[in-house]
Structure 1
Amino acid sequence: MGRPSTNDGNRFTLDVARAHTRTGDLSAAMDELTRAREAAPEWMRYQSMAAETMQEILGKRKRTLTTEMREMADYLGVVG
């Protein structure tokens, strides 16, 4: 077997982002979402896991959203 495809790697990045979200490390989750967006912006725009993870981040955030969070939510079409 060869190396995982780029999409497999991107899906893994989204899995890591979701795990960080669920453990409360929202900064690390945003780092992973940003990494996935930089690696495959068009692919990520249509990934339901990315949008669901961003929705969870918005729901857990206790303070005002960062600029990065607002931009990512807008990019993914998520309203919080």
Structure 2
Amino acid sequence: MDVARAHARTGDLTAAMDELTGVRRASPQWLQHQHVAAETMQEILKKRKRTLTAEMRDMASYLGVVG
């Protein structure tokens, strides 16, 4: 989660999403309860300048993030 958050904060949103997706694959139930994951996703949504990808919409929904 720290790596995903660091990528989001430096503007590398693709790498941040890759990290979140990897964690989701490895431990889906754990990820859904991580506040840091939701905060990271919120940061991705705020920084995204173009239309959200299907992967971003799916992850936001999964984490209960509205953006």
Question: What's the TM-score bracket when you normalise by the shorter of the two chains?
Answer: over 0.9
Aligned match for 1:53, one of 40, 46, 63? 40
Residue 44 in structure 1 maps to residue 21 in structure 2: no
5+ residue gaps, structure 2, are: none
How many positions carry a matched residue from both structures?
67
Structure 1: any 5+ residue segments left out of the alignment? 1-13
CA RMSD of aligned residues (A): 0.3
Normalising to structure 2: TM-score of the pair? 0.99
Quote the sequence identity (%): 75
Equivalent residues in 2 for 1:26-45 (5 A)? 26-45=13-32
**CA deviation after TM superposition for structure 1 residue 70, in Å:** 0.1
Q: Could you tell me how far 1:50 is from its partner in structure 2?
A: 0.2
**Structure 1 residue ranges, 4+ long, deviating more than 4 angstroms after superposition:** none
Query: How much has 1:42 moved relative to structure 2?
Result: 0.3
Instruction: Kindly provide the CA deviation profile for residues 38-78 of structure 1, in whole angstroms up to 9, marking residues without a partner as x.
Output: 01000100100000000000000001000000000000000
Higher RCO structure, 1 or 2 (CA under 8 Å, sep 6+)? 2
Q: TM-score, normalization: structure 1?
A: 0.83
